[in-house]
């Protein structure tokens, strides 16, 4: 197979080899089947186990290196029920909502790299979602989680190289398997990315699936572009969650017998319900909820 490296990538490889001698040994160890079989066993085995597959860059540019394609290939291979509408998310909050709505048992959920908000609260949401799903064997594939959160990984895959552009539409990529606890490299995974089109120009099964994914991704990006928040954070949705049992609990009657919003009650409820959110997020949710209540009264 003709693997391709730019001069910049070659320089980076040399730097990484100097820091991690295990890289040279890892390239001689094919872990493709090892990882696949272990993920399948954990997902479908009788004993409740789950896993997190974290896919990110190492050698080369951070984008356009088939992270998403790798992740979605694994999801489709390991979980016959996997689908874009119910299982693909672009933020930790979005992932949490989809798990709440669609989680059953022995399923894979996928979160793509559109994580523009890397505040601690977002990562706490992600951690809480993952940790709450072990008994149901809910497994997660994450693309682009930052290095400081490497503990989110059962398997950490980092891009090494790919075949040359000249052989498109067929493309193969190689990712190194890194131990998230020791940082040592264990082996290498080779993955062939499915082609999008048949010879007659029609979409393959993968092409149809990819088009559905791109449609969802475009909708998410448009939401961000038309939002005041870079994360597309759903403040209105969270405010509605705060008011789902009725807004009357946040009202007090004045001496003149008029209902008025009690901001202290609303604030206490928001801090309790959204404990792992940042202070600014909670303030914005409270502000949104107060507007909704005032419209009603």
Q: What is the pLDDT of residues 119-128, one digit of tens each?
A: 566 677 777 8
Number of Cβ within a 10 Å radius of residue 262: 14
Name residues whose C-beta falls within 8 Å of residue 190's C-beta, 6 or more positions apart in sequence.
Answer: 1, 30, 32, 172, 173, 174
Find where tokens 């202290």 sit: 264
- Orientation angle between helical segments 32-44 and 67-78, nearest 10 degrees: 50
What are the structural domains of the chain? Answer: 3-225 (3.40.50), 235-296 (no CATH)
Instruction: Name, of 126-130, 134-138, 206-210, 278-282, the range with top average pLDDT.
Output: 206-210
Nearest to 220, CA basis, from 98, 82, 47, 119: 98
Which residues of 2-51 form beta strands (DSSP E)?
A: 3-4
Question: For residues 5 and 167, is the Cβ–Cβ distance under 8 A?
Answer: no
Nearest to 213 by CA among 13, 35, 55, 67: 67
Q: Looking at residue 110, what is its pLDDT?
A: 96
pLDDT exceeds cutoff 70 at 224: no
Whether the pLDDT of residue 254 is over 90: the answer is no
pLDDT band at 230 (very low <50, low <70, confident <90, very high): very low
Residue 265 has pLDDT above 50, yes or no: yes
């Amino acid at each position: 197979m003709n693997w391709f490296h730019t001069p910049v990538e070659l320089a980076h490889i040399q730097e990484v080899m100097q820091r991690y001698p295990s890289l040279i040994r890892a390239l001689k160890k094919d872990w493709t089947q090892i990882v696949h079989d272990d993920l399948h066993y954990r997902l479908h085995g009788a004993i409740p186990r789950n896993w997190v597959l974290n896919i990110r860059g190492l050698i080369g540019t951070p984008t356009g290196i088939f992270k998403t394609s790798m992740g979605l290939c694994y999801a489709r291979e390991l979980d016959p029920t996997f689908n874009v509408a119910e299982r693909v998310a672009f933020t930790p909050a979005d992932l949490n909502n989809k798990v709440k709505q669609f989680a059953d048992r022995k399923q894979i959920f996928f979160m793509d790299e559109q994580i523009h908000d890397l505040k601690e609260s977002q990562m706490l949401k992600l951690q809480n979602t993952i940790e709450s799903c072990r008994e149901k064997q809910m497994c997660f594939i994450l693309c682009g989680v930052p290095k400081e959160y490497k503990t989110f990984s059962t398997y950490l895959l980092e891009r090494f190289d790919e075949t040359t552009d000249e052989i498109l539409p067929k493309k193969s990529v190689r990712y190194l398997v890194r131990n998230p606890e020791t940082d040592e490299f264990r082996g290498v995974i080779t993955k062939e990315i499915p082609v999008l089109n048949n010879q007659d120009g029609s979409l393959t099964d993968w092409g149809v699936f990819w088009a559905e994914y791109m449609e969802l991704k475009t909708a998410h990006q448009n939401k961000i572009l038309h939002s005041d928040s870079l994360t597309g954070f759903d403040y209105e949705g969270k405010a509605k969650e705060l008011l789902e049992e009725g807004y009357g609990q946040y009202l007090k009657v004045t001496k003149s017998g008029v209902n008025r919003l009690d901001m202290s009650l609303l604030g206490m409820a928001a801090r309790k319900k959204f404990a792992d959110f940042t202070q600014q997020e909670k303030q914005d949710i409270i502000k949104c909820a107060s507007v909704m209540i005032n419209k009603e009264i």
